[in-house]
Structure 1
Amino acid sequence: MAWRAPFANMVRPSVTANPVLQAEGGENLDGSTHTNPIPASASTATIFDPNDRTNPLYLHPNESPSLQLVTVQLEGRSNYHAWARAMEMALKSKNKLVLVNGTMRIPSELDSKYFYWDQCNTMVLSWIPRAVSPTIAQGVLWINTAEGVWKDLKKRFSQRDVFRIVEIQSEIHQTRQGNSSIELIPAKVPRV
């Protein structure tokens, strides 16, 4: 039998005529009986099962804030891309990648899922500082969502070094073979 959220936390559909909700035994919640009950499908809210292992909001009993997801620590621009790929794979294996990549919307605080989202978000927030250097961890400590931390790290460390790129391009254009300069001719694209 699937777990059901407490009745107070369930989102109830709006019913226009005689909104009488029934308890499981056929009796109305107010103790009276009703001859024209609302069909079960109209009176029940969407059921969220936190024990559904396919749901990103599911937390396995072995998952804890002290878990270290990857062995490499983010040190800065020098290893950001390798670190981000390792973290993506680790988060995907735990079905938590949607919490950092922006594909999961934050539920309303009135939604029964909010508690579970907050719990999973906090868990991922506790995993990220264990995967970055202490200096970087201090810089993201006060960001409240795992998605916010992920975006901040990407913004800070994934950018290419524009000055180095210009320097390398300049070196390529100044390359000489003996006394002759090497002219770079753009490749012709065949017409289809």
Structure 2
Amino acid sequence: MSITVSSLQEDINSPNHPLYLHQQDHPGLILISKKLTGFDNYSSWRRSIMIVLNAKNKLKIVTGERTEPDAISNIKALWERTNDMIISWILNTVTDQISNSLNLVSNAAELWKELQEHYAQLDGHTIFQLANEITKLKQEGNSVEIYYRKLKGFWDEMDALEAPYTCTYTCNCENGRTSGERDQRKKVISVSHGIG
């Protein structure tokens, strides 16, 4: 008898199932050491928590891809338990001030959406500062590797600020290619400007 990937994913006792909780999972678990403090670190916090939630196979619950089952479903209680666990994990990684305003949210996807709507707003001042840092960055006495790491860090932060919403589609159209090529040209220009 062969076992398919889809049957493994639907086995609630399998670690591949989004509702599966490991025996070491508990509400007090702190998934990342970085705490969300506000607008200033939302992008990096979001990226870190998404990586961990994906590694624990819980990201689909947070993004709403795995929705709450009907009241008569045999996995409703398990979904509620997993949902509450995820809410606890997220609240453990935000400051008390932020956490106190979110304590009444009872759905992990709603909590995620509320955080995104509140903190993912584009901050023109921060984008301007990053663009300025990229322009001012010089290799000077640093190795190319150190210079590139600093520059890439700025680019990654800029990308996170300018594209806070995850797109699940792969774009192969002409506009997508042109936009990507334009971004690459900007990066090449900033690299050639800073080396020397």
TM tier, smaller: 0.5 to 0.7
Following superposition, the deviation at residue 124 of structure 1 comes to 0.3
2:15 to 48, 53, 72: 53
Q: Distance in 1 between matches of 2:127 and 2:83?
A: 40
Note if 1:100 corresponds to 2:57: no
Note if 1:75 corresponds to 2:75: no
Task: Note the alpha carbon deviations across 1:71-120, whole angstroms, 9 max, x for none.
Answer: 10000010000000000001011100011111112100100011111010
Note if 1:115 corresponds to 2:77: yes
Aligned amino acid, residue 84 of structure 1: R
Q: Distance in 2 between matches of 1:80 and 1:121?
A: 22
- Structure 1 pair 49/76, CA: closer, same or farther in 2 (3 Å)? same
Aligned amino acid, residue 25 of structure 2: E
Q: Distance in 1 between matches of 2:127 and 2:49?
A: 31
- Structure 1 pair 112/84, CA: closer, same or farther in 2 (3 Å)? same
Note if 1:87 corresponds to 2:49: yes
Note the residue ranges of structure 2 that are not aligned, 5 or more in a row.
1-9, 130-181, 183-196
Q: Distance in 2 between matches of 1:54 and 1:165?
A: 39
Q: Distance in 1 between matches of 2:45 and 2:127?
A: 26
Note the residue ranges of structure 1 that are not aligned, 5 or more in a row.
1-47, 169-188
Q: Which residue of 2 aligns with 1:125?
A: 87
Structure number with larger C-alpha Rg: 1
Name the count of aligned residue pairs.
122
Task: Provide the TM-score with structure 1 as the length reference.
Answer: 0.59
Aligned amino acid, residue 135 of structure 1: Q
Secondary structure at 1:131 match in 2: coil
The correspondence of residues 22-61 of structure 1 with structure 2, limited to 5 A, is 49-61=11-23
Following superposition, the deviation at residue 49 of structure 1 comes to 3.5
Aligned amino acid, residue 34 of structure 2: V
- Structure 1 pair 165/120, CA: closer, same or farther in 2 (3 Å)? closer
Note if 1:149 corresponds to 2:111: yes
Task: Note the alpha carbon deviations across 1:137-160, whole angstroms, 9 max, x for none.
Answer: 011110110111111011111101
Following superposition, the deviation at residue 165 of structure 1 comes to 7.5
Q: Distance in 2 between matches of 1:151 and 1:57?
A: 20
Q: Distance in 2 between matches of 1:90 and 1:106?
A: 21
1:137 to 87, 99, 123: 99
| The structure with more helix, counted as a fraction of residues | 2
Following superposition, the deviation at residue 166 of structure 1 comes to 10
Secondary structure at 1:60 match in 2: coil
Q: Distance in 1 between matches of 2:64 and 2:95?
A: 24
Q: Distance in 2 between matches of 1:117 and 1:102?
A: 12
Aligned amino acid, residue 57 of structure 2: N
Secondary structure at 2:101 match in 1: helix
